[in-house]
């Protein structure tokens, strides 16, 4: 990465002040998370009598043990894994095939179709929500896994990303294979697909994150408790919030739900950054 | 015509090889097999529902089915509905609160953290980390910060014997509270967009400025900011499109209250369609949101097109 500061006046007092400001802001940003984690480690009764008890021992993991014993969290996690996992795999397959088709092959109306797909990027979810809900009601798709997965497969972003990526690969590669009489599918599968692995990782993580965090569609389609995704499930257990009963338990659910995605983020940070920059090119 | 559109056909291969390649680049229906699976989902789950939604907005429709054609009646009902107009106003107010904050803080963070040190890398990771959380967890965190007498804010104010502002119940403050949580949640994206723009500014310009002994502020004002002006506009538009779709935070933090002061358009759509089951009205409201977002998206399109002409 090219550094602006090196091109400027060098390390100065002003530079240091800016960095300290950025660090302070980061600490301020982390404070709410630390507060929630600390609360999740406190006994519920103690929290009710004195909030400042958050700052000192005793801490307990009883809330986390209670999750294992009583909460539906595991079912919701399973649902989220099934929905986001399946959606991610299918998005990768569909987008790679379509990206290859749009970038490397010719067929009637190709350019028109590509423009129509790109226009799809501008359609917000809310514009299709009610019609989709009605369609799925008639098909009796609500409260099923395919009901939760299918709408995500229509998103054009992956096709756009993969088309761009396939276009950037030198044409000579598949032309050489064509001369060896390899079929179009074989070239796609054996020659080009292995070269797209970084893009696959980027698109996969992007799709998984978006689906894992989706709130609107699972809220109206998966209305039975056993079909909740983690996002909806955690939201549903917030109803007892006001009484301030089980606050520590509620916070432990938040930590339990947020931690996996944060850990995933730390592992795949590099690709997430690529995905964001890739979206910026658009 | 089709061959000419494909630059790959003019390769360095021999004449025979080129002929083979050209044959294979001819437009064939068979080739569309690769895009057919995606297109099936695209058409059934996006194109058809889009037009169906427009059609629904012109009909009286409820949970039991679609009734008669009512023309623009649903739209007229919306414009006579004070709560809808308020929701539109609330949404604009929210965009006004969040978008400038996201753009300016994002720009500051990108300028501050555009350096090679490990500290900067770690801070970039911290600032982006909140973006991967779902809206449910974000609102859970912020409700516990803002909530009445035992939140983080109340506790801190309590140390000084003061009362914290009631971000979740004071009508004047609810939208600001939602905006604070949203900026906290979304700050990673603008920061990243500005960072990738900053890294595309040619280093030679900075070296020339350093030779001229240009001050830090002059360099920032006359070189850095003009170079990333287009990204600044794009960040504004992308964020307008995203923040227009406010839903989860408002529903989970305040349920749109008190007195609808924090009810955005999408929450209005959700309630019209899935609580009152007035599908025609909900569809009409979503078309209005669509038009508002489309205006912002078109602006983005024209700006990125101008980029193509200039560069």
Section A127-135 average pLDDT:
94
Residues of B in contact with A4 (CB under 8 A): 111, 114-115, 198, 201, 206, 224
Q: What is the pLDDT of residue A1?
A: 41
Helical ranges in chain B per DSSP H: 2-5, 15-24, 36-42, 48-57, 73-80, 82-113, 118-129, 135-146, 152-159, 174-186, 188-198, 203-211, 216-219, 225-227, 229-243, 248-253, 265-274, 279-310
- Tens digits of per-residue pLDDT, B128-165? 999 999 999 999 899 889 987 778 898 889 889 888 88
Tokens of A165: 């990526």
Helix (H, G, I), strand (E, B) or coil at A282: coil
pLDDT of amino acid B2: 39
CB B45 within 8 A of CB A139: no
**Using CA atoms, how far apart are residues A17 and A79, in angstroms rounded to an integer?**
47
Cα–Cα distance for residue pair A178/B21, rounded to 1 Å: 7
Q: Does the pLDDT of residue B249 top 90, yes or no?
A: yes
Query: Are A136 and A147 a contacting pair, CB within 8 Å?
Result: yes
Residue B208 pLDDT > 70, yes or no?
Answer: yes
**Is A241 at the interface with chain B, CB within 8 A?**
yes
Cβ–Cβ < 8 Å for A208, A200: no
Instruction: Answer whether residue B11 shows pLDDT above 60.
Output: no
Exposure string for B5-28, b = 16+ CB within 10 A, e = fewer = eeebbeeebeeeeeebbeebbebb
According to CATH, where is 1.10.3720.10 located in chain A? 71-237
Sign of torsion over alpha carbons B256, B259, B262, B264? positive
At B59, which helix (H) or strand (E)?
Answer: strand B59-62
Contacting residues for A32 by C-beta, under 8 A, at least 6 apart = B141, B142, B144, B145, B152, B184
- How does residue A73 score in pLDDT terms, banded at 50, 70 and 90? confident
| SS3 assignment, position B6 | coil
Mean pLDDT, chain A, whole residue set: 85
Residue A143: closest CA among A213, A210, A232, A226: A226
pLDDT at B22: 56
Q: Which residues of B touch A12 (CB under 8 A)?
A: 216
Region A255-272: mean pLDDT is 84
- Residue to mutate among A32, A36, A163, A208, with most B CBs inside 10 A, is A32
Residue B155 to residue A134, Cβ atoms within 8 A: no
The residues in A 180-199 lying below 8 A from B, measured between CB atoms, are 184, 188
Strand partners, B59: B69
d(CA B139, CA B136): 5
Taking Cα atoms as reference points, which of B240, B234, B239, B243 lies closest to residue B301? B234
| Residues pairing with A130 in the sheet | none
Alpha helix positions (H), chain A: 4-7, 13-40, 44-49, 62-70, 73-104, 110-119, 125-138, 145-149, 157-168, 172-179, 184-186, 197-213, 216-221, 230-236, 247-281
Burial class (CB in 10 A: 0-12, 13-18, 19+), A101: buried
Interface pTM, i.e. ipTM: 0.87
* Contact residues, chain B, for A31 at CB < 8 Å: 152
CATH architecture of A71-237: Orthogonal Bundle (1.10)
Residues B103-132 have pLDDT tens digits of 999 999 999 998 888 888 889 989 999 999
B204 burial level (CB within 10 Å; 0-12, 13-18, 19+): exposed
Distance of CA B75 to the CA centre of its chain: 25
The Cβ of residue A52 has, within 10 Å, a number of other Cβ atoms equal to 10
Distance from CA of A146 to the nearest CA of B (A): 13
Would you say residue A245 has pLDDT above 70? no
Task: Give the torsion sign (CA, B2, B3, B4, B5).
Answer: positive
Contacts 24+ apart (CB under 8 A), A210-213: A210/A152, A211/A83, A211/A84, A211/A87, A211/A88, A211/A152, A212/A80, A212/A84, A212/A261, A212/B134, A213/A261, A213/B132, A213/B133, A213/B134, A213/B135
The answer to whether B168 and B253 have CB atoms below 8 angstroms apart is: yes
Q: Is B302 exposed, middle or buried (0-12, 13-18, 19+ CB in 10 A)?
A: exposed
Candidates 3.30.565.10, 1.10.3720.10, 2.30.110.10, 1.20.140.10; CATH matching B80-307: 1.10.3720.10
The DSSP-derived string for B68-84 is EE-TTHHHHHHHH-HHH
Q: How far is B199 from chain A (nearest CA, A)?
A: 6
Give the relative orientation of helices A172-179 and B15-24 as an angle to the nearest 10 degrees.
100
B144 touches chain A (CB under 8 A): yes
Q: Answer yes or no: is pLDDT of B66 > 80.
A: no
pLDDT of residue B18: 55
B274 touches chain A (CB under 8 A): yes
Average pLDDT over residues A164-172: 88
Task: Tell me the average pLDDT across B39-45.
Answer: 97
Say yes or no for a CB contact (<8 Å) between B115 and A188.
Answer: no
Tokens of A201: 């990782």
Highest mean pLDDT among A101-110, B91-100, B187-196, B248-257: B91-100
End-to-end CA distance of chain B: 27
Contact check, Cβ <8 Å, A32/B145: yes
φ and ψ at residue B68, rounded to 5 degrees: -85, 165
Task: Establish whether the linkage from the previous residue to A267 is cis, with ω within 30° of 0.
Answer: no
Q: How many CB pairs under 8 A join A and B?
A: 307
């Amino acid at each position: 990465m090219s550094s602006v500061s090196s091109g400027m006046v060098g390390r100065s007092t002003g530079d240091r002040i800016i960095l300290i400001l950025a660090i302070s802001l980061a600490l301020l940003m982390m404070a709410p998370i630390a507060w929630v984690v600390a609360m999740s480690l406190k006994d519920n009764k103690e929290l009710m009598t004195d909030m400042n008890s958050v700052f000192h021992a005793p801490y307990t993991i009883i809330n986390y043990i209670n999750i294992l014993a009583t909460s539906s969290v595991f079912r919701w996690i399973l649902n989220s894994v099934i929905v986001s996992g399946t959606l991610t795999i299918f998005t990768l397959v569909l987008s790679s095939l379509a990206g290859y088709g749009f970038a490397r092959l010719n067929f009637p109306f190709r350019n028109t179709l590509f423009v129509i797909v790109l226009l799809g990027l501008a359609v917000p979810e809310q514009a299709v929500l009610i019609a989709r809900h009605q369609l799925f009601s008639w098909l009796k798709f609500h409260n099923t896994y395919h009901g939760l997965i299918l709408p995500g497969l229509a998103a054009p972003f992956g096709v756009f990303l993969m088309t761009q990526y396939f276009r950037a690969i030198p044409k000579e590669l598949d032309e050489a294979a064509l001369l060896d009489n390899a079929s179009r599918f074989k070239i796609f599968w054996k020659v080009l697909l292995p070269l797209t692995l970084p893009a696959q990782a980027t698109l996969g993580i992007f799709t998984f994150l978006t689906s894992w965090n989706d709130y609107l569609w699972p809220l109206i389609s998966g209305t039975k408790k056993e079909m909740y995704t983690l996002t909806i499930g955690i939201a549903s257990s917030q109803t007892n919030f006001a009484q301030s009963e089980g606050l520590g338990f509620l916070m432990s659910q938040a930590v339990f739900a947020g931690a996996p995605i944060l850990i995933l983020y730390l592992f795949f940070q590099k690709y997430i950054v690529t995905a964001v920059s890739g979206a910026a090119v658009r | 015509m089709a061959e000419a559109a494909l630059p790959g056909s003019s390769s360095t291969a021999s004449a025979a090889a080129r002929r083979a390649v050209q044959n294979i680049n001819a437009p064939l229906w068979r080739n569309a097999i690769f895009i057919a699976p995606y297109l099936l989902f695209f058409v059934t789950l996006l194109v058809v529902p889009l037009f169906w939604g427009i059609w629904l907005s012109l009909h009286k429709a409820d949970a039991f089915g679609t009734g008669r054609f009512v023309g623009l009646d649903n739209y007229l009902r919306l414009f006579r509905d004070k709560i809808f107009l308020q929701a539109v106003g609330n949404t604009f107010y929210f965009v006004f609160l969040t978008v400038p904050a996201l753009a300016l803080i994002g720009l500051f963070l990108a300028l501050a953290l555009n350096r090679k040190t490990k500290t900067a890398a770690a801070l970039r990771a911290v600032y982006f980390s909140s973006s991967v959380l779902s809206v449910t967890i974000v609102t859970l965190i912020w409700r516990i910060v803002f909530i009445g007498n035992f939140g983080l804010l109340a506790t801190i104010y309590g140390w000084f014997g003061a009362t914290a502002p009631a971000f979740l119940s004071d009508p004047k403050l609810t939208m600001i509270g939602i905006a604070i949580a949203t900026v906290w949640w979304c700050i990673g994206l603008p920061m990243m967009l500005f960072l990738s723009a900053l890294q595309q500014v040619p280093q030679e310009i900075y070296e020339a400025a350093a030779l001229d002994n240009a001050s830090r502020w002059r360099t920032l004002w006359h070189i850095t900011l003009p170079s990333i002006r287009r990204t600044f506009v794009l960040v504004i538009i992308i964020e307008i499109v995203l923040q227009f779709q406010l839903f989860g935070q408002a529903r989970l933090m305040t349920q749109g209250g008190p007195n609808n002061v924090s009810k955005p358009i999408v929450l209005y759509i959700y309630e019209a369609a899935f609580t009152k089951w007035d599908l025609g009205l909900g569809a009409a409201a979503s078309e209005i949101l669509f038009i508002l977002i489309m205006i912002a998206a078109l602006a983005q399109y024209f700006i990125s097109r101008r980029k193509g002409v200039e560069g």
